Amino acid sequence: RPDEELREEIQEALFYDTWVDADAITVEVSEGIVTLRGELPDYDEIRYATDDAWDVEGVRGVRSELTVRGSMARFGAGASGGAAQEDGAGGAAAQGSGSSGGQGRSKKKGSGS
């Protein structure tokens, strides 16, 4: 799929995820590899945003350069989609393969209620 099409679909997924501040996230796509940048209030929201990007068909990898407001640590998801590893900035890197299944969320995404 074209990168621009992936970028638009990821932005739409973030917009409709009621747990994510989509306006705070910049999405870039190059050869199917997604880079997310921005500052969010907590690590849970970073994980939800990363999962949203991974859930878009055609995404080959997700690199998170998202940070928690007031923190120097980055929570990154390696573009290779590999196992958890340190990203060198003190934050944990993890694959956002959708394996969280929304665990810990108390209402449905996009339910509007």
Higher per-residue confidence, 95 vs 56? 56
Mean of per-residue pLDDT scores for the chain: 77
Task: Count how many residues are written for the chain.
Answer: 113
Q: What is the pLDDT of residue 9?
A: 99
Q: What is the pLDDT of residue 74?
A: 55
SS3 25: strand
If phi > 0 it is left, if psi is from -120 to 50 it is alpha, else beta; for residue 90 that is left
Cα separation, 6 vs 53, in Å, equals 9
Domains of the chain: 3-93 (3.30.1340.30)
- pLDDT per residue as tens digits for the range 83-107: 333 333 333 333 444 444 444 554 3
Mean pLDDT lowest among 24-28, 63-67, 70-74, 92-96? 92-96
- pLDDT per residue as tens digits for the range 14-35: 999 999 999 999 999 999 999 9
Q: What is the pLDDT of residue 93?
A: 38
Closest alpha carbon to 90 in 67, 61, 57, 60: 67
**23 DSSP 8-state letter:** G
